[in-house]
């Protein structure tokens, strides 16, 4: 409120104080005792309103309950003097000033936010706390009006609940219908801010003139305009009288049918709760509407008050709403604060405001205005009070709002309504009462947001889409690029206004899948001499030249900041196209399949297998014995020959057969892969290019071609840092071919062309002299561009997915872009080279087999050595015996294995036996029976 409003308020004092004169500078003490017998509180209500009727009875009941409870005010009687404002701001101001004549220390109300805006100025000046249980205007701030205390929830939280509901159901735009006063305008402003936090918005605002006398014709004019809007989600923030008229007219106009979504703020739930008998016409007009109600805690005391309500109303037909409960709790809140005020020694006294003086000769007697001396102390006690009332915990947060705001979400059905969920500032939307969630950590994740199913207008059980194409005859202006090259994607039929191409067919097929009609017209963009700039084309959406852009529009980061794209209908990415040349079959062509790494690995493992075979076969196989030179040659020959043809040396041991089996399996796979790769290289892959990809192209000095109008120029210069002097713009496939054939050494020639894969794929289908080199170095796709937050982009994305699933998208692709056979030839020389990583598993398996064979062999040979030389193993603790044992073990390894190693050698104490069998030598012969001694060594 502007500061000049104070002057307006002061002028009204003439009405109240024209007959009352208090001497200038006199201080009036009303009571000298700390606890007077009576305490006066004022209440400003609109007795004939939905909220006022209920609040009046609730305030009277609370006053009686407080006075009957001696533990609250301890003998002091609380008197509430109520005045009827008749929803008039002027009358409300007068009544507020009249309360000052009766030594009122607090004011309950007003229930109107408009009146509260003005009276708060009076409360601040006279330091009288004002507690409103129904003024929900979010701009009524305790910072601007320190003596204004809101004992109900601010509309800021109610609009947060509405915004989260809109986001939960996936809608992005709403229409707001509101009463055009401070309450309506400020509430809708709060809604707009909360929607913006979730990337939603109000697409249209319709204000209803404030005050009485609004006609159905005026409401009808407003709703007709609303019906022409795209959004079908309508939020009504009004008072009960104007709100019911909106729904009645909407029902008459057919706007309460299938496809519409109506969300009413808590005025509707207050009306439904306070009216036990609803006229059938009123209920028919609000079927399927979602509305909110301030949440109140379910307690035994609450239920008891509801049971008592019918007796309080004398059998009247109106019920108890949430505002009545807050009015009841407000009285108890003031009573506890007054009791604390008296307990601190506070007294009720008033004094004149020395700042207010009449103009000389004036007759308004402004000096009669009195200030409550204990107002600041009472205000502090109110703000610090913490009680449990009918609504729940009455406690104020540091910003002056009530503790733990929450709302019920109600769906109007039949002659009543159904609770479908809750909203709380703690955990958002939930089907669990907020009290059960307060003890848990806040969880506002999307997966945790839940509401029960609702019945929508028209008795629909499926969630409405919330958006339709506007029915006002306006065609969608769609910009399409006027291409010069690659006209298969999009082009204008010469001599006509028709547009054709792959992209156009995809868009048309997707639009045909929409459940509603979309009138549109294509508007070509470009001069027809060269491809237009696609960045400029997309920017025309933001300048309101086009509503959308359809064509081969690449989805890139800088464009997504200003427009919304549909689901990509074709994948893309930048690739490098270069000329290819024949690879001459030189003297070392046979080495092409192998990389140096796999050559080294294969050679190393072949030598390793020879060493392992020699070790395990040396003692048993005569082919691996003999002079050292012969053994080395035999081992090397075995290693190399096993790679080329089956080995000619037989293995005697089981470990040797195991090792050679594993190695032959590995060698077989390596040989087969080598033969296949060499065959492919010498037949199909006879061509190559000195350019290997984008990195070699960037480091080189040759010129690079790019398509005019595409984003590749920006990517090459800004992302890769390539100088613009190296770039050559090209406009068609013919220009690509000519520039690539000339090469970088001639004027107009390029070393390579960088373009998106769909264009290159189409180009290679008719120009087989060129190939893609390297891999795609960007990942993107093509989509249709629309305005930000356009629901049509979402619906077309769903349609494109359906085209992909049912195969229509592939059929459109085959119609326009089916590739010839030469474009399918892989041109990468590196593609068929054999790399070490391709055989890593084989070599690891082979190495483990070698290691296992060596471990088993070592264990066996040590066991045999111990059995053959038991006396050596017993003397290992002696110093000199260790070296002798080592020499003995090496000699044992070099010794040819015979039968004696299968039986342990007798100890010296046992050799004295005279038994013939015990006199056998190590070869099983008895020296008594033969004269020949056979040496165990070769």
Do 524 and 482 form a contact (C-beta atoms < 8 A)? Answer: yes
pLDDT (mean) for 768-788: 91
Q: Which stretch of 592-606, 608-622, 803-817, 868-882 has the lowest confidence by average pLDDT?
A: 868-882
Confidence of residue 805 (pLDDT cuts 50, 70, 90): very high
Please state, in angstroms and rounded to a whole number, the distance separating the CA atoms of residues 309 and 751.
90
pLDDT (mean) for 724-752: 90
pLDDT at 835: 65
Do 185 and 213 form a contact (C-beta atoms < 8 A)? Answer: no
542 pLDDT exceeds 90? Answer: yes
Listed ranges 91-95, 825-829, 862-866; the one with the highest mean pLDDT: 862-866
Handedness of CA 103, 108, 110, 113 (dihedral sign): positive
pLDDT (mean) for 658-679: 76
806 pLDDT exceeds 90? Answer: yes
156 pLDDT exceeds 70? Answer: yes
906 pLDDT exceeds 70? Answer: no
Structure tokens at 165: 């509901």
Please state, in angstroms and rounded to a whole number, the distance separating the CA atoms of residues 286 and 273.
14
Do 922 and 904 form a contact (C-beta atoms < 8 A)? Answer: no
Q: Residue 785 phi/psi, 5° resolution?
A: -100, 135
38 pLDDT exceeds 50? Answer: yes
pLDDT (mean) for 795-803: 94
Q: Compare 722 and 602 and report the one with higher pLDDT.
A: 722
Do 615 and 854 form a contact (C-beta atoms < 8 A)? Answer: yes
791 pLDDT exceeds 60? Answer: yes
880 pLDDT exceeds 60? Answer: no
What is the DSSP pairing of strand 564-565 with strand 785-786? antiparallel
Q: pLDDT by residue (tens digit) across 281-306?
A: 678 899 999 999 999 998 999 999 99
884 pLDDT exceeds 80? Answer: no
Q: Which stretch of 95-104, 184-193, 659-668 has the lowest confidence by average pLDDT?
A: 95-104
Of 119, 44, 67, 61, the C-alpha closest to 338 is 67
238 pLDDT exceeds 80? Answer: yes
Of 469, 300, 292, the C-alpha closest to 388 is 300
Confidence of residue 769 (pLDDT cuts 50, 70, 90): confident
What is the DSSP pairing of strand 233-237 with strand 201-209? unpaired
What is the CB-side half-sphere exposure of residue 804 using CA atoms within 13 A?
11
Please state, in angstroms and rounded to a whole number, the distance separating the CA atoms of residues 541 and 538.
6
Confidence of residue 683 (pLDDT cuts 50, 70, 90): low
Q: Please, what is the average pLDDT of the chain? A: 81
Strands (E), 260-415: 261-264, 290-294, 350-352, 370-372, 387-388, 393-394, 406-413
Asked, as a colleague might, if the bond just before 304 is cis with ω within 30 of 0, I would say no
Confidence of residue 486 (pLDDT cuts 50, 70, 90): very high
pLDDT (mean) for 11-37: 44
pLDDT at 75: 86
Q: Which stretch of 163-172, 195-204, 593-602, 847-856 has the lowest confidence by average pLDDT?
A: 593-602
Instruction: Kindly state the greatest CA–CA separation across the chain.
Output: 162
935 pLDDT exceeds 50? Answer: no
What is the CB-side half-sphere exposure of residue 595 using CA atoms within 13 A?
13
Q: Compare 468 and 531 and report the one with higher pLDDT.
A: 531
324 pLDDT exceeds 90? Answer: yes
Q: Compare 622 and 761 and report the one with higher pLDDT.
A: 761
Exposed e or buried b per residue across 550-568, where buried means at least 16 C-beta atoms within 10 angstroms of its C-beta: bbbbbbbeebeeebbbbbb
pLDDT (mean) for 389-413: 92
Do 117 and 1 form a contact (C-beta atoms < 8 A)? Answer: yes
- pLDDT over 90, % of the chain: 43
Structure tokens at 706: 């790019």
Confidence of residue 799 (pLDDT cuts 50, 70, 90): very high
Q: Which stretch of 96-110, 174-188, 715-729 has the lowest confidence by average pLDDT?
A: 96-110
401 pLDDT exceeds 70? Answer: yes
929 pLDDT exceeds 70? Answer: no
Please state, in angstroms and rounded to a whole number, the distance separating the CA atoms of residues 218 and 561.
40
Confidence of residue 617 (pLDDT cuts 50, 70, 90): confident
pLDDT at 913: 43
Q: Which stretch of 393-397, 498-502, 837-841 has the lowest confidence by average pLDDT?
A: 837-841
Q: Compare 217 and 19 and report the one with higher pLDDT.
A: 217
908 pLDDT exceeds 60? Answer: no
Supply the DSSP string of 679-722, one letter for each residue. HHHHHT--EE-S--SHHHHHHS-S-EEEETTSTHHHIIIIIS--
């Amino acid at each position: 409120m502007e500061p000049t409003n104070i002057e307006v308020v002061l002028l009204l004092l003439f009405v109240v104080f024209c007959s009352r004169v208090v001497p200038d500078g006199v201080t009036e003490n009303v009571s000298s005792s700390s606890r007077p017998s009576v305490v006066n509180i004022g209440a400003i209500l609109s007795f004939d309103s939905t909220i006022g009727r209920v609040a009046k009875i609730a305030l009277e009941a609370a006053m009686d309950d407080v006075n009957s409870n001696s533990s609250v005010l301890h003998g002091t009687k609380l008197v509430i003097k109520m005045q009827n404002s008749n929803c008039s701001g002027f009358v409300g101001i007068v009544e507020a000033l009249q309360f000052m004549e009766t030594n009122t220390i607090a004011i309950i109300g007003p229930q109107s936010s408009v009146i509260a805006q003005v009276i708060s100025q009076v409360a601040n000046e006279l330091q009288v706390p004002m507690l409103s249980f129904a003024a929900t205007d979010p701009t009524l701030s305790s910072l601007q009006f320190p003596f204004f205390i809101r004992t109900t929830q601010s509309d800021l939280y109610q609009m947060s609940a509405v915004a989260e509901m809109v986001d939960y159901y996936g809608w992005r735009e709403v229409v707001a219908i509101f009463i055009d006063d401070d309450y309506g305008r400020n509430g809708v402003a709060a809604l707009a801010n909360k929607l913006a936090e979730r990337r939603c918005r109000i697409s249209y605002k319709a204000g209803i003139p404030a005050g009485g006398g609004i006609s159905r014709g005026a409401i009808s004019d407003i709703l007709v305009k609303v019906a022409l809007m795209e959004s079908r989600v309508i939020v009504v923030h009004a008072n009960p009288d104007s709100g019911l008229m909106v729904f009645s007219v909407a029902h008459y106009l057919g706007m309460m049918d299938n496809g519409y979504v109506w969300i009413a703020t808590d005025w509707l739930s207050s009306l439904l709760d306070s009216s036990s008998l609803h006229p059938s016409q009123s209920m028919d007009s609000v079927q399927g509407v979602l509305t909110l109600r301030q949440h109140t805690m379910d307690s035994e005391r609450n239920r008891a008050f509801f049971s008592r309500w019918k007796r309080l109303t004398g059998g009247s037909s109106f019920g108890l709403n949430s505002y009545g409960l807050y009015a009841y709790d407000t009285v108890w809140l003031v009573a506890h604060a007054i009791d604390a005020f008296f307990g601190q020694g506070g007294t009720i006294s008033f004094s004149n405001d020395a700042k207010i003086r009449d103009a000389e000769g004036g007759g308004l007697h402004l000096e009669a205005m009195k200030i409550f001396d204990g107002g600041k102390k009472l205000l502090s006690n109110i703000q610090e009070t913490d009680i449990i009332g009918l609504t729940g915990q009455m406690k104020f947060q540091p910003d002056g709002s009530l503790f733990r705001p929450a709302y019920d979400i109600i769906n109007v059905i039949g002659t009543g309504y159904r609770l479908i969920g809750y909203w709380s500032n703690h955990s958002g939307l939930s089907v669990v009462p907020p009290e059960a969630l307060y003890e848990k950590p806040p969880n506002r994740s999307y997966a945790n947001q839940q509401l029960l199913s609702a019945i929508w207008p028209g008795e629909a059980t499926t969630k409405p889409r919330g958006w339709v194409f506007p029915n006002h005859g306006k065609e969608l202006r769609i910009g399409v690029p006027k291409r010069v090259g690659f006209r298969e994607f999009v082009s204008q039929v010469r001599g006509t206004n028709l547009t054709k191409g792959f992209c156009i067919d995809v868009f048309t097929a997707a639009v045909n899948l929409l459940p509603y009609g979309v009138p549109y017209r294509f508007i070509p963009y470009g001069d027809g001499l060269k491809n237009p700039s696609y960045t400029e084309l997309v920017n025309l959406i933001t300048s309101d030249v086009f509503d959308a852009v359809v064509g081969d529009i690449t989805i890139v980061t800088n464009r997504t900041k200003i427009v919304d794209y549909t689901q990509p209908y074709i994948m893309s990415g930048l690739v490098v196209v270069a000329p290819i040349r024949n690879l001459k079959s030189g003297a070392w062509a046979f080495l092409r399949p192998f990389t140096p790494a796999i050559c080294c690995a294969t050679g190393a493992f072949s030598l390793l297998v020879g060493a392992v075979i020699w070790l395990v076969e040396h003692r048993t196989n005569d082919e691996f014995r003999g002079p050292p030179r012969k053994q080395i040659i035999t081992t090397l020959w075995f290693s190399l020959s096993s790679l080329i043809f089956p080995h000619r040396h037989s293995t005697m041991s089981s470990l040797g057969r195991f090792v050679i089996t594993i190695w032959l399996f590995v060698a077989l796979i390596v040989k087969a892969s080598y033969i296949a790769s060499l065959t492919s290289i010498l037949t199909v892959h006879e061509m190559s290019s000195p350019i290997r990809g984008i990195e070699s192209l960037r480091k080189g000095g040759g010129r690079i071609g790019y398509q005019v109008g595409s984003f590749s120029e920006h990517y090459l210069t800004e992302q890769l840092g390539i100088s613009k002097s190296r770039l050559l713009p090209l406009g068609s496939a013919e220009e690509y071919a000519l520039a690539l054939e000339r090469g970088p050494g001639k004027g107009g020639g390029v070393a390579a062309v960088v373009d998106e894969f769909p264009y290159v794929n189409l180009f290679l289908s008719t120009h087989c002299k060129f190939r893609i080199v390297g891999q795609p170095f960007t990942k993107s796709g093509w989509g249709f561009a629309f305005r930000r937050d356009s629901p049509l982009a979402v619906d077309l994305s769903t349609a494109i997915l359906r085209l992909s699933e049912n195969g229509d998208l592939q059929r459109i692709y085959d119609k326009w872009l089916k590739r010839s056979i030469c474009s399918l030839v892989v041109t990468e020389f590196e593609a068929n080279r054999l790399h070490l990583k391709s055989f890593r598993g084989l070599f690891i398996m082979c190495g483990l087999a070698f290691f296992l064979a060596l471990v088993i062999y070592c264990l066996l040979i040590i066991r045999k050595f111990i059995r053959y030389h038991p006396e050596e193993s017993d003397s290992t603790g002696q110093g000199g015996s260790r070296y002798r044992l080592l020499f003995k073990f090496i000699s044992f390894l070099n010794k040819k294995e015979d039968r004696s190693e299968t039986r342990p050698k007798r100890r010296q104490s046992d050799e004295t036996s005279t038994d013939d069998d015990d006199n056998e030598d190590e070869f099983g012969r008895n020296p008594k029976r033969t004269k020949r001694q056979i040496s165990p060594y070769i």
